[in-house]
Amino acid sequence: MPSSLEQEAPAAAQPVCGFLPSRASPRILFAAPGYLRLWSAGAIGNGMRWLELLVAGIFTWQATHSSLLVALMMVARQLPMLLLGTLAGVIADAFDRRKLLLGQLFGTTVISASLAALAGLGRLQVWHVAVGGGLAGIAWSLELAVRRRMIGECAPFGQVAPAIAFDTLTGSITRIFGPLLGGAIFETIGLGGAYAMSAGLYAAAAAAILGLGFHQERRPLRLSHVPAEIAEGFAAARANPTILMVVLVSIIANSFGFSYSALIAPLGLHRYGVSPVLVGLLAAAEAIGATIAGIGLSAEWVRPGGRQTMLRGTFLFFSGLVVLALSPWYALAFVVMVAAGFGTAAFSIMQTTLILTEAPAQLRSRVMGIVTVCIGTGPFGVLAIGVLSEAIGPPAAILVMALIGLAALVLVQVRVLGTHR
């Protein structure tokens, strides 16, 4: 059966960004001006997000020596996605997505500039960083329903999967250089310098979006209809086994898997006794693997196999976390997380691609909003791993969470996909 995107091919022949190539090839992605602007804004925004998460974690650990408070920094950044994700999907249909993206980028510029100013004055405290992270999280809650959907809309016709793969690959690259840059800047010019850099780059990303030509058909926003529209998105997700799998695996990965990153700072500084630069390198290890895998996927040297690709990739990621938790050596931990990154590449690419190809066009933003909520469940996992870490230490906490995640993935495989091959 053809996907929903294939069924709508006649309508898609007039893309919203006005670009229709003669043939499908990853090489022509940048020939679409809208895609280029959205890609560059995403690259900058993702890079600065990871830079800020790392420096906030190092600053908090040095100020408090509490792994729970380090974890709470990530909670502050992710909680708005849980609370606002479904609403973001409705808003993205009712308002100009270009203006929403500009608001997101200008808002994060102001937040980072404010934290840089406080640091420069010597008045920055842990609670300031937490509040700034929460405000940035509100802006970030629009990412999937706004910029990621626009990526699919501005991709050349027939190139949705390679376009998403290349955007995901770029996100993996930013997860390498963001933490590395953050660790180096923190070690040389301090927290204020890191936030000043992010403010300047957020502003550059906003400037790129100012020149974006983009058209969308907006649906009127009726507040009384919002609950029904959100419920319609949930019904679509529940009725489609593939979308339901994406939703459940996204919850599992974000609650039990990616929460490990909240403990990278104490793990590197305390267990391995390495410098902030090497902490940043360990934080980037999984992204290095995801980048290597993403190159092959985005260039279509390796073709993803659909929902099983997402599930198997997530299994690989959790298996890597088990080895990370048991590793007594920094070098082994680094190599294992590079290998785990192959799994997260498959997970991340298919998470968006499956929604864009399976969800009805009129429901895509709302389903994307639901996936945003799934990502927003991460704070529960971060809180859990933070509490566990206080009680049994960071390595044991990562191990417990990874084993729970593996068990949950087995249930999804058996109960959701077992009768839907």
What is the per-residue DSSP string for 341-377?
HHHHHHHHHHHHHHHHHHS-GGGHHHHHHHHHHHHHT
- Cα 234 to Cα 221: distance, rounded to the nearest angstrom: 18
Q: Which of 34-48, 73-87, 173-187 has the lowest mean pLDDT?
A: 73-87
Q: Is the pLDDT of residue 404 over 90?
A: yes
Half-sphere exposure of 291 (CA within 13 A, CB side): 14
Q: What is the mean pLDDT of residues 82-104?
A: 78
Q: Which residue has the higher pLDDT, 114 or 141?
A: 114
Give the tokens for residue 249: 């695996």
**C-alpha separations of 39 from 218, 249, 276, 369, 371 in Å:** 23, 26, 29, 20, 20
- What is the reported pLDDT for 340? 93
Helix 67-94 and helix 378-392, axial crossing angle in degrees, nearest 10: 180
Q: Where are the domains of the chain?
A: 13-415
**Tally of CB atoms within 10 A around 295:** 17
The percent of residues in the chain predicted with pLDDT above 70, rounded, is 79
**CATH architecture of the domain formed by 13-415:** Up-down Bundle (1.20)
pTM score of the predicted model: 0.67
Q: What is the mean pLDDT of residues 132-141?
A: 87
Confidence of residue 218 (pLDDT cuts 50, 70, 90): low
Q: What is the mean pLDDT of residues 328-357?
A: 86
Instruction: Enumerate residues 6+ apart whose C-beta is below 8 A from 227.
Output: none
**Tally of CB atoms within 10 A around 184:** 14
Read off the pLDDT of residues 143-163 as tens digits, 9 standing for 90 and up.
777 887 787 777 666 666 677
Q: Is the pLDDT of residue 113 over 90?
A: yes
Q: Is the pLDDT of residue 245 over 70?
A: yes
Read off the pLDDT of residues 41-58 as tens digits, 9 standing for 90 and up.
888 988 898 888 888 888
The percent of residues in the chain predicted with pLDDT above 90, rounded, is 18
Q: Which residue has the higher pLDDT, 79 or 407?
A: 407
Q: Is the pLDDT of residue 368 over 50?
A: yes
Q: Is the pLDDT of residue 356 over 70?
A: yes
Question: Do residues 75 and 387 touch, judged by C-beta distance below 8 A?
Answer: no
Confidence of residue 256 (pLDDT cuts 50, 70, 90): very high
Half-sphere exposure of 156 (CA within 13 A, CB side): 18
